[in-house]
Amino acid sequence: MDKLPSVYIIILNWNRLGDTLDCLKSIEEISNSGFDLHVLVVDNGSTDGSVKSLKKYKSERFIFSMIENGENLGFAAGNNNGIKYAIGEGADFLLVLNNDTLVDENLVKEFLNAAKKNPEVGIFTPKIYFA
């Protein structure tokens, strides 16, 4: 039997626990058949209690993990730490997501379909709607 593709969603958090929790709640609704879904929150040195709250987060729909940068490394370096971690864990696909994003239930499925149809493409981006 073939191994299911491993998809990592990387979310950077810095002192925006409410946004991050809303984002995670929307990810809970993602249709996740046909792939293994991992969500990695990278905390960029929050001082608002985010780390304590997020360490308690549990999901029955995806594998949740968190890394702490210990300081605010900025957007690029913070996400790069998450990307390096996910690649080290064997991620087949990466999705970098802002923590103030709410996702459609078919987001990952559509990305995987696009990747299968267009194997020469390395980066995809969704259409963004504002609530």
pTM above 0.75, yes or no: yes
Give the model confidence (pLDDT) of 14-58 as tens digits: 999 999 999 999 999 999 899 999 999 999 999 999 999 999 999
Q: How much is the pLDDT for 129?
A: 82
CA distances from 111 to 13, 47, 128 (A): 23, 34, 14
Distance CA 7, CA 108 (A): 8
Across all residues in the chain, what is the average pLDDT? 95
Average pLDDT on 71-86 reads 98
Average pLDDT on 62-73 reads 97
